[in-house]
C-alpha cells in the first residue's frame, strides 16, 4: 500500500469553522487560552471578531458559550477534553445540556493524546461522563474525512453536541464519498469471524489489525462507532449475532465508554457472544509515557488487538 | 419597546405586597419552598417586571428585549409569583408548584416557564451566562440589557469571579448584576460562614461600576438602576441590601427560614402583616 498522507484532525476542524462562517452559520468559537491546542490561528486571522478567549477559566468558557447561544450564536468551545469535562462539568450539565443550548463542546487531545504529561492531562473518562448526562449528542471522528463530515453536521445541528478529538495526524480511512449519518455505525470492513468495535483514533489500529488477520484467513468486521449517542443498536447487534466474537477498542476507561455500551447491548438483547474489552483498566489512571507505549501496554494498538483476536478465536 | 406596565414606585410597592401574599399562600400550599429567599428578592423583582425591564408579553421572542437571569435559582418561588402578578403565567398555576412533573418545578426550567433564560439552581452559574448574553449583544450591536440577580452566599463560588473578571475585560456596560445582599445563607450569616466583606471593594477591584442601595426600598432601588451610566465601558453591580424574609416579622432575618414554610396560624398572621 502506498504511504497515505496524514492530516491533523484539528486542522480539518478549523477549515470546517471557516467554511461554516462562509456558509452563513453564525459561529463563534471560544477558547480558554487554548488557541494553540485548537490550532485556531487560521480561523482567528480570518475572523478575529468570532474568536473569544476567556483565559484559563473553563467554567466561564462553557457558561459564556451558553450565553452566546442564547444571544443567537452557534457557540463552539475548543479546549483540552480533560479540563472541559472535569473542571466545567456542572456548566456542561446545567448551562448546556439541561438548558438545551446551541453549544458544541469540542474535547481536544482526548484519551492519552498527552501521553507523558500524565493523568491530569489524560481524558479517559470523557465519554462515560458525557453518557451520564441527558440531552447531548456524543461523537468521535476517526480520520480527516469523518472529522469534516462530523463538524459539518454538528455546526448545523441545533442543540448540544460533544465531539471527542485527538491531537495527532491520521491518514484517510474513508472514501471521499463517505457520508456521516447520526445514529449509524460506520462499517469499515465486513467479516463473519469477529466484530471489532472501535472509536476515535484507535479505529486505525483496529483497521490495521484486521488487514493482518485477513492474511490468517480471519475475516474481521471493523465497526467504527463514531456516533456514540445516538447509537446504532441494531447494526451492532446484527454484527455480534453474526460473528459471536467481539473485541472493543478504546483509548478510554473500560467503565462507561465503548466497552460498556457494547456490553449493554449484548446483555439487553441476550446475545450469545464472547467479548474482550480493550481499553484503560477500570478503576485505574492510565500509565504515563510515550503514547505508543501506553497503547501497547493496554493492548489497544494493532499488535494488541491482533493477539487478542487470535486468542479469542482459538478458544472456539 | 419598553416595559408594558411602567408603574410608579408607589404602585410597585402595592404589587410587591400582592406578590408576597402569593408567596406565603403558594409555599404553604406546596408544603415546601425557599420562603426567606422569595421574600428577600420580591421588591427587586417587582421593580424589574413592573418598570425596569424592556419586555412585553407579546414580544418575548424579540432579540432586542432585556434579559433577566435568576442566578439564585432557589428564589424561583418569588419569581413565579411575580410572573403570575404580572400576568406572564396564570395564577392558578401556582397551585402546581413542586408537584410531580409540574409546570412549576422547584428551580427554574426555561423549557417550561416564560421569562426564564437559564436552568439554574446550582449556584454561581448565572453570571457567566449573563456575560455571554451581554457579549452577544455587543457583537451583534443589539440594544438589550442583561440583568443577573444573584444571591450573596452565591458569591462564594469561584465561577462568579471568573465571570466577573471577563465581564470587565470585555467592557460589558450592558450587563447589570444585582446582588440580593440579605447577609444570610443556608446555614448562617455569610460573614460567619465565609466572609464576603469588603464586598464593594471586591467588585471594584474586578473593574465593576459598583452601586449600593436598599433592595427592599422600591424608590431607592429604581433610582439606583435608572441612574446607571450605561455607556461607561464597565459592567455594573448593584449591591441591594435586603432583609431575608422581608415583610413577615417572624420570618425576617432568620437563617432557619431559608427553606421553611408557614403553617396553620402562621399563614393567617403572615397574610395579616402583609395587608
Segment B205-249, tens digit of pLDDT: 999 999 999 999 999 999 999 999 999 999 999 999 999 999 999
- For residue A38, is pLDDT > 60? yes
The model's pLDDT over A75-124, given as tens digits with 9 standing for 90+, comes to: 999 999 999 999 999 999 999 999 999 999 999 999 999 999 999 999 99
Are A141 and A193 part of one and the same domain?
no
CB A160 within 8 A of CB A144: no
Tell whether B162 is within 8 A of chain A (Cβ): yes
Same-domain check for residues A198 and A250: yes
A86-110: string of b/e by CB count within 10 Å (b at 16+)?
A: ebbbbbbbbbbbbbbbbbbbbbbbb
Report the DSSP beta bridge partners of residue A29. Answer: A51, A76
CATH number of residue B104's parent domain: 3.40.50.970
Contacts of B32 (CB under 8 A, 6+ apart): B98, B106, B259, B261
**d(Cα B97, Cα B75) in Å, to the nearest integer?**
13
pLDDT at A315: 67
Same domain? For A56 and A160 the reply is yes
Domain extent, residue A21, equals 6-171
Q: Are strands A245-253 and B236-241 parallel, antiparallel or unpaired?
A: unpaired
Q: From CA B257, how far away is CA B245, in angstroms rounded?
A: 7
Nearest CA in chain A to B69: A67
A235: domain CATH number is 3.40.50.920
Q: Is B205 part of the contact surface with chain A (CB cutoff 8 Å)?
A: no
Residues in chain A: 316
| Domain closes at, from A171, A195, A222 | A171
Residues A110 and A207 in one domain: no
User: Cβ distance B178 to B147 under 8 Å?
Assistant: yes
> The domain spanning residue A154 has which CATH number?
3.40.50.970
* Residues of B in Cβ contact (< 8 Å) with A75: 132
Q: Is the pTM of this model over 0.95?
A: yes
Residues A192 and A162 in one domain: no
Q: Inter-chain contact B125–A91, Cβ cutoff 8 Å?
A: yes
Chain B residues whose CB is inside 8 A of the A60 CB are 128, 131, 159, 162-163, 165-166
Dist. CA A75–CA B132, nearest whole Å: 10
List the single residue in A28, A55, A98 with the smallest CB-CB distance to B119.
A98
Q: Is B106 on the interface with A (CB under 8 A)?
A: no
Question: Which pLDDT belongs to residue A254?
Answer: 98
Please answer whether residues A58 and A32 qualify as being in contact, where contact means their C-beta atoms are separated by less than 8 angstroms: yes
Residue in chain A nearest B145 by alpha carbon: A71
Q: Is residue A176 included in any domain, yes or no?
A: no
Å between A196 CA and nearest CA of chain B = 41
Region B143-149 average pLDDT: 97
In a domain, B4, yes or no: no
A230 upstream amide cis, omega within 30 of 0: yes
Range(s) of the domain holding residue B90: 9-274
Quickly list H helices, A72-113.
81-87, 89-90
Does residue A179 lie in a domain region?
Answer: no
Shortest Cα distance from B201 to chain A (angstroms)? 22
pLDDT of A2 above 60: no
* Domain co-membership, A26 together with A64: yes
For residue A316, pLDDT over 80 is answered with no
Please say which residue of A130, A145, A171 terminates a domain: A171
A95 to B137: CB separation less than 8 angstroms, yes or no: no
A259-300: per-residue pLDDT in tens?
A: 999 999 999 999 999 999 999 998 999 999 999 999 999 999
Is B270 within 8 Å of chain A by CB? no
Q: Which of A107, A137, A171 is the last residue of a domain?
A: A171
Tens digits of residue pLDDT in A245-259: 999 999 999 999 999
The total number of structural domains that make up chain B? 1
Residue B3 domain-assigned (yes or no): no
- Of the residues B118, B120, B132, B169, the best mutation for testing chain A's interface (the one with the most A CB atoms within 10 Å of its CB) is B132
Taking CB atoms and an 8 Å limit, are B135 and A64 in contact across chains? Answer: yes
Q: How confident is the model at residue A1 (pLDDT cuts 50, 70, 90)?
A: very low
pLDDT tens profile A204-257 = 999 999 999 999 999 999 999 999 999 999 999 999 999 999 999 999 999 999
Residue A64, classified by CB atoms within 10 Å of its CB into exposed (0-12), middle (13-18) or buried (19+), is buried
Q: For residues A142 and B199, what is the distance between their CA atoms, to the nearest angstrom?
A: 50
| Chain A touched by B139 (CB under 8 Å) | yes
pLDDT per position as a tens digit, B52-109: 999 999 999 999 999 999 999 999 999 999 999 999 999 999 999 999 999 999 999 9
**Inter-chain CB proximity B131 and A67 less than 8 Å:** yes
Residue B130 confidence class, pLDDT cut points 50, 70, 90: very high
Length of chain B in residues, anyone? 275
Tell me, yes or no, whether A139 lies in a domain.
yes
Helices (H) and strands (E) in chain B, counts: 10, 5
A to B CB pairs, distance under 8 Å: 102
User: A214 and A259 share a domain?
Assistant: yes
Q: Is B164 on the interface with A (CB under 8 A)?
A: no
How many domains is chain A built from?
2
| Secondary structure element (H or E) that encloses residue A8, with its range | strand A6-8
- Nearest in space to A37 (alpha carbons), one of A117, A145, A144, A137: A117
When the pLDDT of each residue in chain A is averaged and rounded to a whole number, the result is: 97
Of A49, A54, A99, the CB nearest to B166: A54
- Using CA coordinates, name the residue in chain A closest to B127: A63
Partner A contacted by B118 (CB < 8 A) = yes
Amino acid at each position: 500500500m502506498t504511504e497515505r498522507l496524514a492530516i491533523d484532525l484539528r486542522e480539518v476542524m478549523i477549515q470546517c469553522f471557516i467554511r461554516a462562517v462562509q456558509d452563513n452559520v453564525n459561529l463563534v468559537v471560544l477558547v480558554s487560552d487554548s488557541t494553540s491546542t485548537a490550532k485556531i490561528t487560521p480561523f482567528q486571522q480570518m475572523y478575529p471578531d468570532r474568536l473569544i478567549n476567556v483565559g484559563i477559566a473553563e467554567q466561564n468558557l462553557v457558561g459564556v458559550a451558553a450565553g452566546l447561544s442564547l444571544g443567537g450564536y452557534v457557540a463552539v468551545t475548543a479546549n483540552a477534553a480533560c479540563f472541559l469535562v472535569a473542571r466545567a462539568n456542572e456548566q456542561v450539565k446545567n448551562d448546556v445540556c439541561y438548558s438545551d443550548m446551541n453549544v458544541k463542546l469540542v474535547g481536544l487531545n482526548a484519551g492519552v493524546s498527552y501521553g507523558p504529561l500524565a493523568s491530569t492531562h489524560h481524558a479517559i473518562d470523557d465519554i462515560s461522563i458525557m453518557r451520564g448526562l441527558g440531552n447531548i449528542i456524543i461523537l468521535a471522528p476517526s480520520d480527516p474525512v469523518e472529522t469534516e463530515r462530523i463538524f459539518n453536521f454538528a455546526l448545523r445541528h441545533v442543540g448540544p453536541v460533544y465531539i471527542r478529538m485527538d491531537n495527532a495526524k491520521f491518514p484517510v480511512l474513508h472514501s471521499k464519498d463517505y457520508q456521516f449519518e447520526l445514529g449509524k455505525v460506520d462499517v469499515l470492513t465486513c467479516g463473519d469471524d469477529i466484530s471489532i468495535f472501535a472509536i476515535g483514533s484507535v479505529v486505525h489500529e483496529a483497521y490495521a489489525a484486521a488487514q493482518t488477520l485477513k492474511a490468517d484467513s480471519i475475516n474481521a468486521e471493523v465497526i467504527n462507532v463514531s456516533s456514540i449517542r445516538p447509537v446504532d443498536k441494531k447494526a451492532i447487534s446484527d454484527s455480534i449475532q453474526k460473528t459471536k466474537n467481539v473485541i472493543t477498542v478504546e483509548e478510554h476507561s473500560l467503565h462507561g465508554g465503548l466497552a460498556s455500551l457494547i456490553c449493554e447491548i449484548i446483555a439487553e438483547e441476550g446475545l450469545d457472544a464472547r467479548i474482550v474489552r480493550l481499553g484503560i483498566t477500570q478503576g485505574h489512571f492510565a500509565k504515563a509515557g510515550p503514547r505508543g507505549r501506553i497503547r501497547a501496554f493496554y493492548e489497544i494498538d494493532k499488535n494488541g488487538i491482533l493477539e487478542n483476536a487470535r486468542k479469542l478465536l482459538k478458544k472456539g | 419597546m419598553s416595559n408594558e406596565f411602567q408603574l410608579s414606585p408607589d404602585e410597585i410597592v402595592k404589587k410587591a405586597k400582592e406578590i408576597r401574599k402569593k408567596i406565603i399562600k403558594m409555599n404553604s400550599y406546596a408544603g415546601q419552598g425557599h420562603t426567606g429567599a422569595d421574600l428577600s428578592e420580591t421588591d427587586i423583582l417587582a421593580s424589574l417586571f413592573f418598570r425596569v425591564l424592556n419586555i412585553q408579553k407579546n414580544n418575548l421572542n424579540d432579540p432586542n428585549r432585556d434579559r433577566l437571569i435568576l442566578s439564585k435559582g432557589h428564589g424561583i418561588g418569588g419569581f413565579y409569583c411575580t410572573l403570575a402578578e404580572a400576568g406572564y403565567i396564570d395564577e392558578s398555576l401556582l397551585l402546581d408548584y413542586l408537584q410531580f412533573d409540574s409546570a412549576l418545578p422547584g428551580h427554574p426550567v426555561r423549557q417550561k416557564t416564560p421569562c426564564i433564560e437559564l436552568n439554574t439552581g446550582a449556584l454561581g452559574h448565572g453570571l457567566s451566562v449573563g456575560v455571554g448574553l451581554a457579549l452577544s449583544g455587543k457583537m451583534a450591536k443589539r440594544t438589550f440589557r442583561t440583568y443577573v440577580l444573584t444571591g450573596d452566599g452565591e458569591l462564594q463560588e469561584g465561577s462568579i469571579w471568573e465571570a466577573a473578571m471577563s465581564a470587565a475585560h470585555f467592557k460589558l456596560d450592558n450587563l447589570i448584576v444585582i446582588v440580593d445582599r440579605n447577609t444570610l445563607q443556608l446555614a448562617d450569616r455569610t460573614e460567619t460562614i465565609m466572609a464576603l466583606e469588603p464586598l464593594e471593594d471586591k467588585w471594584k477591584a474586578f473593574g465593576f461600576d459598583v452601586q449600593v442601595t436598599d433592595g427592599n426600598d422600591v424608590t431607592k432601588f429604581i433610582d439606583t438602576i435608572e441612574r446607571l451610566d450605561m455607556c461607561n465601558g464597565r459592567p455594573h453591580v448593584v449591591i441591594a441590601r435586603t432583609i431575608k424574609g422581608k415583610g413577615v416579622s417572624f420570618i425576617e432575618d432568620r437563617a432557619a427560614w431559608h427553606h421553611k414554610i408557614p403553617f396553620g396560624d402562621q399563614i393567617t398572621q403572615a397574610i395579616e402583616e402583609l395587608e
